[in-house]
Amino acid sequence: MDDNQEKKEPYILFHLAGTDYGIPSRLVKQMEMVEEMTPVPNAPAYVEGLIFIRGQVVPAINLRARFGFDRIPYDLTTRLVVVRSGTRNVGLIVDSAREFVSLPEEDIQPPPDSISGLSGDYLKGIATMGERLILILDVDEVLTRQEKEELGEAVGERD
């Protein structure tokens, strides 16, 4: 590769509680407006429910609740970002999602050790885009393996 060529990966950017996050676009299956959900009895507080999308039942995770932020009412900008996490599709409810960018690999740094334990394992890196900081999300770490199994059971999936 030429020294002047940067290796870039496309990301979907979303906004949550005043912060910009990025997910590699190859993991994003679709984005939808948040519609009716079916509640799941005894589900963790961050599980909003199940949504039937394009012939598939998908658990919907409220990322505000999962990350410990205050919940806010859904509005016209609220989005359900359906991602592949492990062997399952999971819907992530975010405040808004409208940007698609390619970030050079060298603009993404590992998270500082001082915040790694505070933010859980779901923070993969921090990117800079001009003056903006973008937290790169590791979607496979948003839910623990046990949580993924429990959600799979809730939607009738078997491994």
| Domain residue ranges in the chain | 8-154
* pTM recorded for the entire structure: 0.85
Please write the tens of the pLDDT for every residue from 45-96: 889 999 998 888 899 999 999 989 999 999 999 999 999 877 788 999 999 9
pLDDT recorded at residue 19: 93
pLDDT of residue 22: 95
Question: Residue 97: which of 6, 4, 34 has the closest Cα?
Answer: 34
Question: Do the Cβ atoms of 51 and 80 come closer than 8 Å?
Answer: yes
Top-level CATH class of 8-154?
A: mainly beta
